[in-house]
Structure 1
């Protein structure tokens, strides 16, 4: 273990010993407190960023190859989970999210020892001119997101807002697309305008850039390279990643540079999370292709069935990058009924001062659902579900 890793482990131990105290204040934080804390100028406080006297999320910033709380200069480790629902429930016409009682969830998250939560969003549902199938209105969707963000940040948790499901004009945002489209620029301009002054909120600009293989034709329908990742301009199949057939229709991809510019043009200065290619599993070209911005975080997703799924690959491809910029494992999980990979990925991240957010904070009652294999919690009180949930809670120190 490096000296940097030892310091990070020590800081995390101190942080987790204090973050549990925040649970006691969550229930007492009312609407007025949320409103009062939303745009407050952060006060400089002694000690670790999560040990403030009042529950409030750190003000996240990039300093060299690490994340810090801008109020204190202390380093931050973003450790926690993904909270799915906002990306799919709305476009399926059945609600804004799928996450249960927000206060009970936040209490459980802080009890587990989490410091960050990633919230996947839906591009169509954010806007008022949404598909007819979408639930309620864009105003209500945005208000629901705002409520969740407020609850989480008041409890001391950093929130990562993630563009998860998108689609080009004329198609519903009903799944993963290989690359952003022109509406994604508008999306980030709007999101950044709303949250540009909100403490503890950072932006993950596009979930999983990826190529697309056409199994029927036995050939690539679209091969994503780093130039298109950065600059856009390539022709991308319009179908989502679950489509079994291809129409041959395409849309023009928008690159990461345009999304970063959209956020910065809206006046938001928060760190931005940029995923690699190959479903965010490949960061080999990230440093050379990344936009010119000193507040960027490189994001990788780690699952056992991906190409880069062991410590040899992480040492070869991720560790050199983590010495240059902050790296975040924005998703990791295990779907085979065990927990060995989840434990190994988390331990690697902790040893190298890399953040890690598990997939997913779900209570899945249908055991036949493939999503149930990733579920971290059980029941309305969000008890840890074995084996992944119990393992994550143990690793977080809760």
Structure 2
């Protein structure tokens, strides 16, 4: 009797110790659609146009039917979440008939889910959408498990025919259940191990460039006041070209050929190579090798520059504010290129729409602009997340033992360095120093306050600079300036203060363009002055902006 009583007590204690979400109660009320109001509508569900409650025998279900091509048919639910919910499982039955994609690949049947914080701002990452195409007339039960990001207060669920050409989509028995995070972690670990084994069996990509010999490499650089110097005290002035494409394509576009042309025909001594963290680890579109070919191309680029005694800036070409994924990138990158004399690390391409405190030390990033007068320089959606700050990226690099020179970009899309002189400079613990970066375009004003004042105390890298006769789509017409007046003034100020610089960009399709074509013909409005400046022509500044 006693042992049995103790056993029952232990079982009861174990059940009480389980988290509340160990119960199977769904967070979606009336997910089986069997609670019907007097109006004939399902309780807790707001059905819109072209969404109906249907019945087969004694079973009720939802039906979405497209009335015409391109129509948007949807049912919406907003599910409150408590802080203890760290992972969820969505389960449902679905069937569909005649769903034909619309004008875009994602115009089809979908379950779209978005996390929101308490202020209704977006919280990433969102769960991967489920999609439905063609016909599947039999009911099929499907499940999806996903993490709940920090700060999420609600989960918005949209069952939709999203601008499909045609089709019908049915749902039933929809549940959303909290689950233990360990379930997802275990599944992820098993999948990662399987994927690692598959990748390990793949043939390794062959290098396209030999490893640069020690005698070919340039001397390492360090910060000395507002200059860059070699170990023997010689001052170095970095002048070169920004090379895009590896931020949007895992294979890049003419990367090694462009480096060769830039260092020889254009006489650059520095290449800024734009990279992305997801390509580096093999998570980008169309990658199936774990990032091996991408990393090899980066290595080839490093060797191409190093063998010619030139420097290469490895630019993490992302935006807004530092995140943990950026720290992971730099931990790996810094370990690989630790103390390589040709390699310079640029922490983050263009920080923007965050306070100086968050820029430096991290903190909450909200999905709102901080200043109305700042031009929005691309279509990046503003979302909410927790930033780790630029100082953390510096620390992650230094913790690997890498002393490489570091570049840190300012605010306002990499332009504004005013905070550096007002208590927000970064600390470099044991490295070769930090150079600050500013991106300068014709619509930017206050050169003195935004980068020239900082240039009196720190080395400054104008990592992106350029002008185009074609007005950028985000720019009001009154803020467009003729390159004929702006370019000489900008190049003149660079030369007068010996600001380090790489012209944006050495590609014929990404504006402001240095090139007209892949024959490396310079554009007359920007490419020709750049080539002249790199060859030693002096420009005069007549007017500050």
Fold agreement, TM-score > 0.5: yes
Q: In 2, are the aligned partners of 1:105 and 1:382 still within 8 Å (CA)?
A: no
Q: Which has the higher strand share?
A: 2
Shift of 1:376: 1.1
Q: Which residue of 2 aligns with 1:355?
A: 500
Deviation readout 1:94-132 (Å, 9 max, x if unpaired): xx212x16246414433322111111111111114x155
Pairwise mapping of residues 265-284 of structure 1 onto structure 2 (< 5 A)?
Answer: 265-284=399-418
Which position in structure 2 is the counterpart of 1:180? 322
Q: State whether residues 209 and 300 of structure 2, in contact with CA within 8 Å, keep that contact through their aligned partners in structure 1.
A: no
Equivalent position of 1:89 in the other structure: 249
Could you tell me which runs of 5 or more consecutive residues in structure 2 were left unpaired when the two chains were aligned: 1-206, 370-375, 471-482, 537-545
Q: How many angstroms apart in 1 are the aligned matches of 2:501 and 2:524? A: 19
State the partner residue of 2:424. Answer: 289
Please point out which of 467, 472, 486 is paired with 1:341. 486
Contact 2:212 2:306 in 1 (8 A): no
Gaps of at least 5 residues in structure 1 are: 1-30, 41-53, 91-95, 166-176, 212-223, 365-370
Distance 2:209 2:260 in 1: 16
Picking from 428, 433, 453, the partner of 1:320 is 453
Q: In 1, Cα distance between the equivalents of 2:286 and 2:273?
A: 22
TM-score normalised per structure 2? 0.53
Higher relative contact order (CA 8 A, sep 6+): 1
Write the distance in 2 (CA, Å) between the matches of 1:157 and 1:245. 36
Structure 1 residue 326: deviation in Å?
0.6
Aligned to 1:47: none
C-alpha separation in 2, matches of 1:36 and 1:150: 5
8 Å contact 1:87–1:121 — kept in the other structure? yes
1:197 deviates by 2.9
1-structure distance, mates of 2:443, 2:410 = 17
Which residue of 211, 225, 240 maps to 1:35? 211
User: Is the CA contact (8 Å cut-off) linking 1:178 and 1:236 kept in structure 2?
Assistant: no
Q: Give the total of aligned pairs.
A: 308
**Superposition deviation, residue 305 in structure 1:** 1.2
Q: Higher helix share goes to which structure?
A: 1
Q: Which has the larger radius of gyration?
A: 2
Q: TM-score, normalised by structure 1?
A: 0.71
How far apart are 1:377 and its partner, in Å? 2.1
Deviation at 1:389, TM superposition (A): 0.8
2 CA distance for matches of 1:379 and 1:292?
42
Moved over 4 A (4+): 131-136, 238-246
What RMSD in Å do the two structures reach over aligned CA positions? 2.6
Q: Residues 1-398 of structure 1 correspond to what in structure 2 (within 5 A)?
A: 34-35=210-211, 37=213, 40=214, 55-70=216-231, 72-90=232-250, 96-98=251-253, 100=254, 102-103=256-257, 105-128=259-282, 130-131=283-284, 133-134=286-287, 136-165=289-318, 177-211=319-353, 224-237=354-367, 242-243=378-379, 250-287=384-421, 288-293=423-428, 295-306=433-444, 308=445, 313-336=446-469, 338-364=483-509, 371=510, 373-397=511-535
Change (3 A) 1:59 1:322: same
